[in-house]
A and B are shown apart, each in its own frame.
Chain A
């Protein structure tokens, strides 16, 4: 039998695992990740490097703040006019020989893509890294349907070959170092040269050789989109390695899965976002390759073009202010790279394909928070609210403010039921502190703390329910003398 301590244990009855939801709360997952020194070393190196590069190239642009203001306003305009802009995009893309599909949820999007692939007779597709297809678990779905999805971005390939999960929006294998990557290649890749070292150039060339054959023979490619332009029906993919260009150019059929929030109203708006995105994400003045296509070009590139417009919770998010602001996100990952919490816990702790500060807002908005025991309900607390993410965000999403609002909502949701441990502790403290005699009695107990603390003057473990506090913090030992005792000793004349 367990003693009831005010913190009821509940099961995750309504929260099945998905690409947007892990199986455990952020504090639980974070504790495990924090204990991995290799992960912390990799992350500290990676985030510090990107932070420095980003700061340097952003500093070069005297009009950076004006670009952010413009980017923010354009996104607000898109959200306000979304139905009209989506219809405009659909008409323009269709007029130039493309086909537009609409998917209400992940399952429908997966089915649409599968049917399109089946219609070509292919049993393999090459893929460009895409958050939307990760979010719907497309690769896993295709595998179940007997279609192999081959990731062609180097980091995604590392994750796929390592039977692993991505941990960063932009650099999904950021948690792996070169030795780990070498070992994955040697054990999982066919035809690896003998004596492959862990030199990044050698590893990149191994990936080139591995994928070259796929690129030259593939008939179907699947991509996401960084932007869709409403007035011209243009789709845009921003990338570095050329794997994107290979997928977008060589196959006969191209299927693009795009979240409905990815639109920009006009082609000219690209002038803002093609400056904001690369500098914020990789810290480059421009990414090596950007591809733009507005339907079919006879004799050049895929002749069978599709785009799947994906809702999958976005309309839920759109219905309130927090969600709407989160939908402005252009997935640059600048907020991850400046976040002290992300830097220490890594991306897997968030349980969603969208980790870090923006993930802590976006994920619960896309899925909804299904009560206290939903792991996603813990995400708004995965922040120190230091504000670095807001400063870094190229479209000025006020992430700390949104997190505070979500915390307030989750607290409000808890009201009216059984009092929680926190409520009970506050009530007890109030009772003790409202009476001098009780307070003096309580102070006597403090001496016990010094014994518990031991020589290092730190208390690392307290019994439940106070263990909740000391799980993630050390408590300093109480002083040898309380203030009230010291006052009595030094001011005997004041005693009544």
Chain B
């Protein structure tokens, strides 16, 4: 295998030499690296809500005092919910309402995929959201947990703080830690493979509900 490494690199160098030296060209960066809307501004949130609804996600924008009620509403009739260890208290309180079974995903005893498959919902925070594309980014932080918990249960509730909403993709990328396992979510899972007719919910959570706390 080492042989192929040297062979491939050698062939690349030879190929580049055949074509003659290539002068280093500066990469133009004339695109918008920052949007006109301030992070967390009502306009940025309005744009995000519009995009999320377009993807058939369900969105509530609420005041800080209403978080518990909003998350409880988002959980609906889910009888069980998995939570990461670092969920804020007011969000956790909503999970515990209505006699719901709350399962903590602690890294010492991670739940198996089969166990997760038996749980109705998951509630997490997020790292950042991109208004322009309707995208929410998870980075595995304490309020988000392992990737598997936001994947297997059928309902995902994301609680987003208003100040986490930026307008453009470059603003979000600048905030991310590349060494973290990152998942970008734009609406519930969807397919367009049959006559290009969009069907929400294939293998990931079929329902995505977002609570934005302004």
Q: Which A residues fall within an 8 A CB radius of B?
A: 42, 45-46, 49-50, 62-63, 66-67, 69-70, 73-74, 76-77, 79-80, 82-83, 86-87, 96, 101-104, 108, 112, 152-155, 158, 171, 173, 177-178, 181, 200-201, 203-204, 207-208, 211-212, 215-217, 229, 232, 234, 240-243, 245-246, 248-250, 260, 267-268, 270-272, 274-275, 278, 282, 284-295, 297, 299-301, 309, 311, 315-316, 318-321, 324
Which B1-57 residues have a C-beta within 8 angstroms of A?
A: 1, 4-5, 7-9, 11-16, 18-19, 22, 24-33, 51, 55
Contacts of B151 in A (CB 8 A): 242, 245-246, 249-250
**Given A67-B31, A207-B202: A285 and B181 within 8 A (CB)?**
no
* Selected contact of B203 from candidates A63, A173, A211, A282, CB within 8 Å: A211
> Could you list 22 examples of A-B contacts with CB < 8 Å?
A63-B31, A83-B9, A83-B12, A102-B5, A154-B193, A204-B202, A211-B203, A212-B203, A229-B178, A242-B202, A246-B204, A282-B192, A284-B186, A285-B134, A286-B134, A288-B55, A294-B178, A300-B140, A300-B146, A319-B15, A319-B19, A320-B19
Contact across chains for B1 and A112 when beta carbons are under 8 A apart: yes
**Given A268-B173, A286-B135: A240 and B190 within 8 A (CB)?**
yes
**Given A242-B151, A319-B14: A104 and B7 within 8 A (CB)?**
yes
Contact across chains for B183 and A267 when beta carbons are under 8 A apart: no
Contacts of A272 in B (CB 8 A): 31
Stretch at the interface among B60-68, B94-102, B110-118: B110-118
Nearest residue in A to B202 (C-beta to C-beta)?
A241
Report A44 CB to chain B, min CB distance, Å.
Answer: 12
Bound-state Cα–Cα, A201 to B198, Å: 9
Contact across chains for A96 and B179 when beta carbons are under 8 A apart: yes
Nearest residue in B to A207 (C-beta to C-beta)?
B202
Bound-state Cα–Cα, A15 to B180, Å: 46
Contact across chains for B25 and A260 when beta carbons are under 8 A apart: no
Report B157 CB to chain A, min CB distance, Å.
Answer: 17
Chain A contact residues, majority secondary structure: helix
Contacts of B134 in A (CB 8 A): 285-286
Report B138 CB to chain A, min CB distance, Å.
Answer: 10
* Selected contact of B113 from candidates A240, A250, A274, A287, CB within 8 Å: A250
Nearest residue in A to B132 (C-beta to C-beta)?
A285
Contacts of B8 in A (CB 8 A): 102-104, 260, 309, 311, 315
Contact across chains for A83 and B13 when beta carbons are under 8 A apart: yes
Nearest residue in B to A172 (C-beta to C-beta)?
B193
Bound-state Cα–Cα, A138 to B199, Å: 29
Contacts of A207 in B (CB 8 A): 202
Report B88 CB to chain A, min CB distance, Å.
Answer: 21
Bound-state Cα–Cα, A300 to B184, Å: 16
Contacts of A274 in B (CB 8 A): 169, 173, 184
Contact across chains for B193 and A171 when beta carbons are under 8 A apart: yes
Report A175 CB to chain B, min CB distance, Å.
Answer: 11
**Given A86-B9, A103-B4: A288 and B181 within 8 A (CB)?**
no
Contacts of A66 in B (CB 8 A): 28, 30-32
Contact across chains for A241 and B203 when beta carbons are under 8 A apart: yes
**Given A69-B30, A215-B203, A241-B203: A204 and B191 within 8 A (CB)?**
yes
**Given A70-B28, A73-B25: A315 and B203 within 8 A (CB)?**
no
Bound-state Cα–Cα, A49 to B180, Å: 37
Contact across chains for A200 and B189 when beta carbons are under 8 A apart: no
Contact across chains for A243 and B184 when beta carbons are under 8 A apart: no
Contact across chains for B148 and A250 when beta carbons are under 8 A apart: yes
Contacts of B183 in A (CB 8 A): 245, 289-292
* Selected contact of A240 from candidates B110, B181, B182, B189, CB within 8 Å: B189
**Given A215-B113, A216-B114: A82 and B202 within 8 A (CB)?**
no
Contacts of A311 in B (CB 8 A): 8, 11
Bound-state Cα–Cα, A324 to B178, Å: 29
Bound-state Cα–Cα, A86 to B7, Å: 13
**Given A286-B134, A290-B184: A200 and B190 within 8 A (CB)?**
no
